[in-house]
Structure 1
Amino acid sequence: MVRELTTDIRDIRLVVLDMAGTTVADGGLVERAFEAAAAELGVEPGSPDHAEKLDYVRATMGESKISVFRHLFGAEELAQRANTAFERAYGDLVDAGLIAPVPGAREAIEELAGSGRTVVLTTGFARVTQDAVLAALGWRDLVPLTLCPADAGGRGRPFPDMVLEAFVRTKAAEDVRQVAVVGDTSYDVLSGVRAGAGLVAGVRTGAHADDAFRAAGATHVLDSVAQLPALLTGAR
């Protein structure tokens, strides 16, 4: 069941948006980069072990990538090797021009900023990959703050740390209930719920679907982040 909204929607002052799958359409690049990481560690393509690990990657979209690899490979050295290979492969795919904004995402961000709200972009990727994505899209100066797990003490989603870091750093809101968190995975939603955000929305442009959003406690489910400005003005 969708969680009850805890604030007047027009009072939202800070909007924390996920990147891949929410504002950025990456066309399955996470899975392609995982293939490279798996190969680096000797996981045989087509094997039951490969299939099991890929299923876990799909199920945990939105979680910090190093946390995913720690679960998959156990030993810290192996997890770090896999994560390095993943980030390198994803960066190469980005450099090859294989990402694009979700339709209407940039316009939504600009409209939110134009209405006096502060927008922060977050990711489960490492900083080097986040910066590569921002550069490829021409988004380096689009928002005043971007965060990756390392910027918030090392814990990514589903922990609330990046949301709370955005709240503390921007000082855009007086109360966490004036924060909106939007993402395409249940991990995005859960991080917003745990942070106490007043509005927590799942979007249907990425990894997870309505049931997962509702189970995680979303207040709203949207077809796309492009619908967010109208929602916050009460037009939807």
Structure 2
Amino acid sequence: MVVGGSRGFGLGVARAAREAGARVTVVARHPDSADGVAGDATDEVFAEKVLADTRPDLLVLTAGAAPEMRPLTEHSWESFSVNWHQDVRMAFVWLRAALRLPLPAGARVVVFGSAAELRGSPLSGGYAGAKATVRLITGYAAGEARDSGIGVTAVLPVLTPGTTVGETGIRAYAQAEGISRDAFAARLTAAPTPESAGAAVLGLPATELAPAYLLDADGLRAL
């Protein structure tokens, strides 16, 4: 199951899983495939029902909001906190549902965060802090899941062209530097692609997952 599997990294994971022969369920507000389930990823009742109905052996959480890009002085609390209400809540809702069900022994849960938590992102308001919290609660869930035989980890991709969040950041930082979008994107030689991200997630070990991984053009690196 890929939550947010209709675009970006989620779409890359869903395609890789299908190509490997898996039966994939995509959760999105507006899924565009026959195997899609439409719903709000921050809705607790929805998450619990979908997981109970499908009991996936791999749950990948990639959904989240594109941050509003502006200097701190131009943010309101509402714009600054968008990713706290979306990304953090989504991770909390699905991790809690996976543990309370629980998913079958041997299942894995992979939560996409962001390398912005390691490097900062001054124009994106609370985005980097929200992603740091996503990683923290993923770690909490990993500890609680261990006795049930469920593996839980976080994946932190670097800024990546071709994804909604990546393009939002690229265009904002390019404008701030007074250069074109393409000139800024050309610097991102270490960025993965949605396709390579999908292959990397499917290649994660079934046991002894690291607490988190950095994802770049070279694949996954344990943190």
Query: Do both proteins adopt the same fold according to a TM-score greater than 0.5, normalized to the shorter chain?
Result: no
> Bigger relative contact order, structure 1 or 2, given CA contacts below 8 A and separation 6+?
1
TM-score (norm 2): 0.29
TM-score (norm 1): 0.28
